[in-house]
Amino acid sequence: MRIATWRLDGGSPISLDLLAAAAEQAWAARDVTLAERLCRAAVDAGGLSRVGHVFGQVLMHGRAPDQAEATLADVMSGPLSAEDLSRLGATRSMNLHFGLGDADAAVAVLDAVDVPGLPEDLRDWLAVVRTLEEAQYRPAAEVLEDTYRPVAPHLSVHMRRTRALCLVHAGRFRESLEEIAGYEAEELASSDEPQEPDDGALRMRCFALAFSGRLAEAETLALTMYNRSFDELAFTGATSLYSVLSFCARLRGHGAQALRFAREGSPKTPDNPLIFDAIALANLAASAALCGDGDLAQEALARGEKARRPAWQLTGVTVSVARSWVLAGTGDVQAAADAAMAAADECAELGVHSSEAGALHDAARFGVDTSLRLAALTSAMDDPLTAAYAAHATALAHAAPTVLEAVATDFLRLGATLYAAEALASAARLHRAQDNARAASQASARQALLMRDFDGARTPALHVDGLTHLTRRQAEVARLATSGLTNQQIAQKLHTSKRTVDNHLHAIYGVLGVTGRDELRTALGPS
């Protein structure tokens, strides 16, 4: 690769053998810019057939799937062996499927090149490609079974990655993480050379962690990758990382941050949408809706709908889920509830239970009793976030304010502050309806404290009028008091007098209707 680059820079003659080998090395190293340069040099030298399989992938990842299809079709029209045709056909099929969204054409190409007499590892590779593509439009459980088909050892990692993806879709997050750890260990053991972390595995782990409620771990991992330099992020990496970060920020009530990540990860032009663009645009629509930017939310949703393809059904459900957020942002809560239920049904049909759980929870937040369906999902999904979704829906259905306060605590433990604040807002309204002014004031005060850290987040459940507010200094004193510090210690920490702290606490007790620190700790929950 270095030799070829030096010769290109110096204008020296380069053999096609060297260019082809260098292009493959550059692509394997995910240096997309160099790989494209080397491929174009080979094409200029009449070596399209030598680098066609690499050039097709480079063009697809460079958001030029039409050019990739034309290039690969041109190469495959020439006199090639059955083996070369099969290798090129696999690349062309993936471009047709993942780049152009044409599942029928992708399958037709695979069928045409999957001929008798091929070497076993090449037949296995074609089977792997079929499974990779089917994981985007067939029900997750069906494809999961196919991933257990035995293939050559060096190809098993591709099947295991697809298996991990199907497990994420199915909401079996723990099994997905175990599968990822398993094939990472297998790859490490099979190589004598130090291995760089597998980016695909890391991105999959991010999604599994985020959707299972391990938000802090998901954010830490995603930010670690975000701060590294990925040339290949143009196609998959950046979109995946931004989507995870945007999702986590929304659940924390960090609307502006969620919108910033979603903007960075969304495609900048409406032309040539790729498979992950629907996810990126769905995140942008939901984040904009959370921030009250209705125009941007509607625009992103429309682009997301346009980016969907029948070949990408499982990623396309994210657009359906986002639609309810956009409608809720306009104030049409009934339409938002209907959209959330439609999305949940769509996800259930495809076996995408991870998104189904989120859609059912959204429907519950918008007034639909989805408690039974969510409770049923928890029997197969053992993650804490789905359990919290189910508990929230059940408490809303039973109009149980004290249970809603406990649910808020569960959401807080996970870092899902937005849903914790919503649960407390519902609890406060129910307490008022039941003439329990003291409990309503306490729940309202907890909600107000949580919302201090929000940055522009708004939802139908978060009514800010009539909130029981503590002043910023009162909130600070209350948090320190519930942490176990004495009044004198609080005074020293805040550089004020003990008498001032005494007065603050007296005022706090009056606002919340409590008589001491134990009741204050109960009223405000964990600090």
Nearest residue to 520 (alpha-carbon basis) of 484, 474, 472, 478: 478
Nearest residue to 207 (alpha-carbon basis) of 318, 312, 128, 319: 318
- Hey, what are 145's tokens? 């079974």
Mean pLDDT of all residues in 335-346 = 98
> What per-residue confidence (pLDDT) applies to 233?
43
Q: pLDDT higher for 347 or 446?
A: 347
DSSP state of 198: P
User: Other CB atoms closer than 10 Å to residue 36's CB: what's the count?
Assistant: 20
- 262 pLDDT exceeds 90? yes
Domain segments of the chain as ranges: 1-134, 393-524
CA angle (243 as vertex; 237, 248 as ends), nearest 5: 130
What lies within 8 Å, CB to CB, of 496 at 6+ separation is none
- 513 pLDDT exceeds 70? yes
Of 54-63, 168-177, 370-379, the poorest mean pLDDT is in 54-63
Mean pLDDT of all residues in 89-94 = 94
Give Dmax (Cα) for the chain: 92
The secondary structure of 258-289 as a DSSP string is HHHHHHHHS-SSSSS--TTHHHHHHHHHHHHH
246 and 261 in contact (C-beta within 8 Å)? yes
Count of H-run helices and E-run strands, the chain: 29, 0
- 89 pLDDT exceeds 90? yes
- 389 pLDDT exceeds 90? yes
Pick left, alpha or beta for residue 173 (phi over 0 → left; psi -120 to 50 → alpha; otherwise beta).
alpha
**Cα gap 341→337, rounded to integer Å:** 6
- 82 pLDDT exceeds 80? yes
What proportion of the chain, given as a percentage, has pLDDT over 70?
94
pLDDT tens string 26-49: 888 778 888 888 888 888 888 887
> What per-residue confidence (pLDDT) applies to 223?
87
> What per-residue confidence (pLDDT) applies to 195?
60
- Cα-Cα-Cα-Cα torsion 294, 295, 298, 301, nearest 10 degrees, comes to -100
pLDDT tens string 416-445: 999 999 999 999 999 999 999 889 988 988
Average pLDDT, the chain: 89
**Cα gap 467→147, rounded to integer Å:** 53
- Hey, what are 151's tokens? 């293939």
> What per-residue confidence (pLDDT) applies to 254?
96
CATH class of 393-524: mainly alpha
> What per-residue confidence (pLDDT) applies to 253?
96
pLDDT tens string 164-220: 999 999 999 999 999 999 888 877 776 666 666 677 788 889 999 999 999 999 999
23 and 35 in contact (C-beta within 8 Å)? yes
pLDDT tens string 472-504: 788 888 889 988 899 999 999 999 999 999 999
> What per-residue confidence (pLDDT) applies to 313?
94
Amino acid, res. 443: A
Mean pLDDT of all residues in 85-107 = 94
Angle between helix 437-451 and 417-433 (nearest 10): 160
Q: Does domain 1-134 have CATH number 1.10.1740?
A: no
- 230 pLDDT exceeds 60? no
> What per-residue confidence (pLDDT) applies to 234?
45
pLDDT tens string 113-150: 999 999 999 999 999 999 999 999 999 999 999 999 99
Nearest residue to 283 (alpha-carbon basis) of 232, 234, 355, 220: 355
Q: What radius of gyration do the chain's Cα atoms show?
A: 27
> What per-residue confidence (pLDDT) applies to 346?
97
pLDDT tens string 273-328: 888 889 999 999 999 999 999 999 999 999 999 999 999 999 999 999 999 999 99
Q: pLDDT higher for 360 or 51?
A: 360
> What per-residue confidence (pLDDT) applies to 474?
85
Mean pLDDT of all residues in 49-58 = 84
